[in-house]
Amino acid sequence: MPKVENAIIMAAGLGTRMRPLTNEIPKPLVKVNGKRMIETIIQGLHKNGITDITIVTGYLADKFDFLANKYSGVKLINNPYYQKYNNLSSLYVARNELKNTIILDGDQLINNLDVLDPAFNKSGYAGSWVNKWTDEWIMHPDDNGRVVSCDRDGGQKGYRLYSVSKWTAEDSEKLRKLVEKEFQAKNYDIYWDDVSMFKYPDKFDLFVHQVDPGDIVEIDSLDELKAIDSSYRSIG
């Protein structure tokens, strides 16, 4: 059974939907109920024995510098392409860190630390079952849990995809080569997840890593932040 050796945290984005908060602070460093989102992720990884952590920065990159001093095992990689290109560029600059790896976005809350358990069987994404319509990506697995299709424009009666995924060393090597291929072909505007989920699904056997609703909370906008942390309700 593979075991997660390291983590890559994506933290390069502009966080435009969280303005004005993100005018001066990167979204992953926004505090939710008194704690910075990215720090709760780092602490959760540490509690699971995952201390080799790469943070990919871009927007206001210097604001993250303190994390490398505060937490052992944390290193920063700057993405110089973050303003022009989609997050394919973030995995591209961190591609040599791929092995038995967990990849996460830095702007979410992990409420159940079992989600970060280093033990896993197959490469795949965390997902929770949904019955009603959502505009999030929805994975549809077969009876064995293998993803056979994904609706990127939303759907229902499937597993909502979260930005927490685990990759075996074998799949990581394939992912690395394909990310390089897409970036060098100047397909800059795609998500890195598009590589395995849509562009080359035949190259991977991806499985749903089932989580419960609420185990992972993605905060995409200021309104969603206000709903979780009342201290922000006065911000226009």
- Tens digit of each residue's pLDDT (9 = 90 or more) over 127-170: 999 998 888 999 999 999 999 999 989 888 999 999 999 999 99
In the chain, what are the helix, strand and coil shares in percent, each to the nearest 5? 35, 30, 35
Angle, CA 139 vertex, CA 138 and CA 145 arms, to 5°:
155
Over residues 38-69, the pLDDT tens digits come to 999 999 999 999 999 999 999 999 999 999 99
Predicted local distance difference test score (pLDDT) of residue 236 = 65
Instruction: Please give the domain boundaries of the chain with CATH numbers for all domains.
Output: 6-232 (3.90.550.10)
What pTM was estimated for this model as a whole? 0.94
* 89 — pLDDT class (breaks 50, 70, 90): very high
Share of the chain above pLDDT 90, in %: 80
Paired strand residues for 158: 130
CA distance 228 to 223: 9
The residue type found at 144 is: N
User: Sign of the C-alpha dihedral, residues 57, 118, 2, 137?
Assistant: negative
Judge whether 11 and 108 are in contact, CB under 8 Å: no
Share of the chain above pLDDT 70, in %: 100
Over residues 109-129, the pLDDT tens digits come to 999 999 999 999 999 999 999
Predicted local distance difference test score (pLDDT) of residue 88 = 94
Asked if pLDDT for residue 28 goes beyond 90, the answer is: yes
